[in-house]
Amino acid sequence: MSTDKKLFSGFTRRDWLKSLAGLPILGSVWAAGLDTTKKSKLEKELLLERLNIKASPPPPSGSMAGDPVRVGLIGFGIRGEQLMRALGFATQEWMEAMAKSSQENPNDTRLEDFKAQENLNVKLTGICDIFDVRAENALRSFNTPDNPCKRYNSYLDLIHSGDVDAVIIAAPDHWHAPMAQAAVEAGVHVYVEKPMTHTISETYLLRDAVRRNPGTVLAVGHQHRQTLSFLTAQDAIAKNTLGHVSLVVTNTNRNDDNGAWQYPIHPDANTETIDWNAFLGNAPYEPFNKEHFFRWRKWWAYGSGLSGDLLTHDYDRINCVLNMGIPKYVTASGGIYTHRDGRNVPDVMQVNMDFPDFSTGSSQESGKEQGMTLVYSATLGNQFDRGTVLMGHDASMELGNILTIYADPRSTQYKDMIQEGRIDPSVPIYQYDPSADGVDAVTSATAKYFANKGLLWTYRDGKRVDSTFLHIREWLSCIRNGGNPSCGINEGFEEAITAHMAGLSYKIGRRIEWDAENEQVIALPGEDLDAILLDNSVNYQS
Amino acid sequence: MSQPQPLSSAQTTALVLLRLLVGWHFLYEGVIKLYTPSWTAKGYLLSATYMESLFHWLGSDSMISIVDTLNVATLIFVGAALVLGFRTKLASILGIGLLLLYFFAHPPFPGHPQGATEGSYWIVNKNLIEAVALLVVYLFPTSLTFGLERLFHKKEIQTQSH
């Protein structure tokens, strides 16, 4: 000790100062950092506590154990192939193409993801496609000793074969309801692509058939129901986070030929390889036409344009969060402005769906707020991403893979917190990224920048979550374990009626009204709404 | 080689100031990250626009927690060392390494996407300038004049004189 003292005996006050002055700086900087993080954490916790939104992904569907479900497929086109992969069946051609693609681009993990997909314990026992090339292509890959698979020339033969418990329908729109109804009447479970039906009358007939056969499970192919953030969105609405939502905007923006349904025409397509009459079905007679066969979405006779094809997804997504049902009024306009190629369905379309009696809740005096409009705005000539926004008096919710809520500067319920500077309306008050550790409030601009680029996305159990896979799995779980699919006959009924009202309003040029009490789309005297909906002669280019 | 001219006290003061301020910056960044458990460099690494394979590997699920921990630990060590005036040579080298990693993940090279930045940069940005500032700190050690090392230095002189 005494030597130590001696050691520093030459030290002046100045020496000590120069040696140790860094310590208080270190202490101050450290304390400042601790204080800042503590404060912002407290603010965040306060806000999250106040909002009290429960962030949860949808519950997983039930077990896939038991006897394999025997599935038949009707329609092995573009969507049919995608659905088969979700079911666990990929063609040799696709596997080879993906293997090649992943060799060229290591970031392409589509093949890896497919192989890692859970086995749904199904047998693909039957295929029906009226184009020989597609049917044979399916058989070549799927008819194996392990999975004997047969081709049927007619969907009725497939449904009544006794070899299928369930069918997946990926035929053109005008075939959805007739096929689904035949299957349901035969006690065969159905997964039908959207829109559920092609006409108003079919919608009632199919609903009646399902009601008469409660043992069969019918699911409509709105895989967006599996979006991880939707339960969280529902809870935010239930907690009145947004206040009264007066306007919801959704949209479609595409700008390529494929997105405009200008699909390739197969070189081997001819009257020998295609059963043309089976394609036409109840559609008006038309001589063999390859373009109509491969690009059927472009004509009202077989497809239903933007309202049936894409509005239905957006409508159903909002219906799934708000459960607002069928709009009282639908007004639509648009035209063929970007693909004047002989089609008769519009490629630019705006649809206003009015719900005058609906309310998500209110933060103001009772009776002041009521009613909501859902706007669907679409173009097939531009792909600027506009996002889906639910606009309430108190806050706006951006609904995507990531759910983000911004307080409104003029909000009633957040008025005090905004005045105190504790809420900045330009910074999200809530953000739910199902892939991240959970919930965040008041995220920084950079964090949002990275999140929006999808970079913080992680996969559940290391696997990419494919919503179509989850949707089919849910349907199979209902078949095996009971329960109702998230998009069943009632949701499908609402989706189909809304889509048909939009199509009608576009074609007639009038506001279309729904009589909720009598469950009727109101027609003027002498007006046959289904005939108008199906009318294939109207050419809006004139 | 001729003897280097001794630094004037104003020059020394400027160098000490540079060392302290860079240390201050490192320390504060490190402390903020330390007390923000949800903080991660994952987004920064995965969005790298240069030397992607290295940064994507660093940002991968198996690496990211080690990378985050090392980053925070290094930031705090470099900051504390520069502020206190202790092992400043080692701290400068580590600091330069860290800054170059930040720099090369999102370099302001012509034709590279700039993402979210608060200014306009061409080839040179603040990360690079701070790295060069640390090079100066490395080459002109000042902790004998101002810092903990002065204690040990004095101690040595005292010991030798006995």
Spell out which residues of chain A touch residue B27, defining contact as CB-CB under 8 Å.
26, 29-30, 33
CATH of the domain at A512: 3.30.360.10
**Choice among A112-121, A423-432, B110-119 with the minimum mean pLDDT:** B110-119
So what's the ipTM on this one?
0.90
pLDDT (mean) for A406-416: 96
Using the beta-carbon criterion (under 8 Å), do B154 and A455 form an inter-chain contact?
no
Query: How high is the pLDDT of residue A261?
Result: 94
Is there a domain that residue A246 lies in? yes
Kindly report, residue by residue over A310-366, the tens digit of the pLDDT.
999 999 999 999 999 999 999 999 999 999 999 999 999 999 999 999 999 999 999
Is there a domain that residue A166 lies in? yes
Query: How high is the pLDDT of residue B3?
Result: 61
Query: How high is the pLDDT of residue A66?
Result: 94
pLDDT (mean) for A211-238: 89
| Residues A404, A407, A409, A411, Cα dihedral to 10° | 140
Q: Is the same domain home to A217 and A331? A: no
pLDDT (mean) for A166-171: 98
Query: How high is the pLDDT of residue A16?
Result: 87
The nearest CA of chain B is from the CA of A109 a distance in Å of 15
Spell out which residues of chain A touch residue B145, defining contact as CB-CB under 8 Å.
18
Query: How high is the pLDDT of residue B160?
Result: 55
Using the beta-carbon criterion (under 8 Å), do B35 and A37 form an inter-chain contact?
yes
**Alpha carbon distance A535, A301 (integer Å):** 7
Is there a domain that residue A35 lies in? no
Mean pLDDT of chain A: 90
Is there a domain that residue A295 lies in? yes
Kindly report, residue by residue over A14-27, the tens digit of the pLDDT.
888 888 989 999 99
Q: Is the same domain home to A153 and A172? A: yes
Q: What are phi and psi of A18, to 5 degrees?
A: -70, -25
Query: How high is the pLDDT of residue B115?
Result: 72
Spell out which residues of chain A touch residue B158, defining contact as CB-CB under 8 Å.
6-10
- Pick A22's closest partner by Cβ from B47, B116, B147: B147
CATH of the domain at A99: 3.40.50.720
Domain span at residue A483? 69-226+471-488
Q: Is the same domain home to A318 and A379? A: yes
**Alpha carbon distance A234, A241 (integer Å):** 10
In sequence order, the 6+-apart residues with CB closer than 8 A to the CB of A272 are A132
Residues of A with CB under 8 A from a CB of B: 6-11, 15, 18-23, 25-26, 29-30, 32-34, 36-38, 41, 437, 440, 445-447, 449-451, 453, 455-456, 458, 462
Q: Is the same domain home to A150 and A186? A: yes
Query: How high is the pLDDT of residue A449?
Result: 52
Is there a domain that residue A127 lies in? yes
pLDDT (mean) for A500-517: 97
Tokens of B134: 């640390």
Beta bridge partners of A3: none
Is there a domain that residue A521 lies in? yes
| Residues A84, A89, A92, A97, Cα dihedral to 10° | 60
Q: Is the same domain home to A79 and A220? A: yes
Is there a domain that residue A108 lies in? yes
Say which DSSP state A28 is in. H
Query: Is the pLDDT score of A461 beyond 60?
Result: no
Q: Is the same domain home to A243 and A370? A: yes
Q: Is the same domain home to A512 and A371? A: yes
**Percent of chain A residues past pLDDT 90, beyond the cut:** 73
Query: How high is the pLDDT of residue A453?
Result: 45
Query: Is the pLDDT score of A412 beyond 60?
Result: yes
Residue of A453 and A32 predicted with greater confidence: A32
Query: How high is the pLDDT of residue B155?
Result: 64
Q: Do A380 and A255 contact (CB within 8 A), yes or no?
A: yes
Q: Give me the number of domains chain A comprises.
A: 2
**Alpha carbon distance A400, A321 (integer Å):** 12
Query: Is the pLDDT score of A260 beyond 70?
Result: yes
Is there a domain that residue A48 lies in? no
Q: Is the same domain home to A335 and A288? A: yes
In sequence order, the 6+-apart residues with CB closer than 8 A to the CB of A194 are A220, A221, A222, A308, A309, A312, A313, A316, A495
Q: Is the same domain home to A268 and A160? A: no
Q: Is the same domain home to A201 and A214? A: yes
Q: Is the same domain home to A367 and A261? A: yes
Burial A126-149 (b: 16+ CB within 10 A, else e): bbbbbbbebbbbbbebbbeeeeeb
Query: How high is the pLDDT of residue A367?
Result: 92
Sheet holding A69-74, edge to edge: A150-151, A122-128, A69-74, A166-169, A189-192, A218-220
Band the pLDDT of B153: cuts 50, 70, 90: confident
